[in-house]
Amino acid sequence: MTLLLIGIATGISTLIGGSLALRFKEKIHLILGFSAGAVVGVAFFDLMPEEMQLGSKFYDFPILTSAVAFGFLAYMLLDRLILITTTVESGHRGHVGAGSLSIHSLLDGIGIGLAFQVSTAFGAVVALAVLAHDFSDGINTVNLSLFGTGKPKIAFLWLVVDAIAPILGIIATMFFRVSDQHLSVILALFCGFFLYIGASELLPDSHHRYPRFITTIMTLLGAAVIYTAIHFASF
């Protein structure tokens, strides 16, 4: 039941992000800045130590760090492929971009479910990062769909699909369990995913929207909140 409630919360976060993208564009930079710090904080302060501790029983550290790098580069290639596809002049580019983000959200849900297989505290921290990420996903889904189709109704439909996707991902993890050996590699990959999302998507986007010191403060605040949450969760 807890996992389902978290899944619903991620869907609501996506819907809120998409709605605010249409109404309060002038304040989005602050929220994105905070989200960037939160997502990068989860990668450095939680995912990386967890996968190192879990995987040290099965792999050498270079293998685990290589898995982080592979996750970062794989997500970069996927992101660039989406960018190339969505900039091609065709009537379907808005659908492709929004659909790809929905797939990302599905993977976010799977990540939450797998994190809860490690521990409740770990799953809660990852869920917080996904909530921040899915908020920005809602924004980007609306923007890509509107850019490609110019139709708010279609953008809203894609927003609903994107909101449902993490719930489906969480539900999927209820039907299988992953061994500690394989889970450590998966966590390393997700660490790379989160590093790319935070450092290459959220952080530049927030600064581009409003290149002021307050945006940087929000990023530091996001990282500090995650660090504090992890610190208290470890007791």
Please give the pLDDT value at position 228.
82
Per-residue pLDDT reduced to its tens digit, 26-37: 666 777 787 788
Listed range (96-105, 114-123, 172-181, 202-211) with the worst mean pLDDT: 96-105
- What is the rounded CA–CA span in Å between residue 134 and residue 149? 22
Across 152-180, average pLDDT: 83
Where are the domains positioned within the chain? 2-233
114: which 2 tokens? 């797998």
Per-residue pLDDT reduced to its tens digit, 172-213: 888 888 888 888 898 898 889 889 878 887 788 777 767 778
138: which 2 tokens? 């809602």
Give yes or no for residue 115 having a pLDDT over 90. no
Nearest to 48 by CA among 198, 225, 224, 184: 184
- What is the rounded CA–CA span in Å between residue 121 and residue 165? 23
Across 67-96, average pLDDT: 70
**Residue partners of 185: CB distance under 8 A and separation at least 6:** 51, 55, 59, 64, 67
DSSP per-residue string spanning 159-181: HHHHHHHHHHHHHHGGG----HH
Would the pTM of this model clear 0.75, i.e. be above it?
A: no
Give yes or no for residue 235 having a pLDDT over 80. no
CB 136 within 8 A of CB 204: no
What letter represents residue 77's amino acid?
L
By three-state DSSP, how is residue 62 classified? helix
Give one word for 5, left, alpha or beta, with left for phi > 0 and alpha for psi -120 to 50: alpha
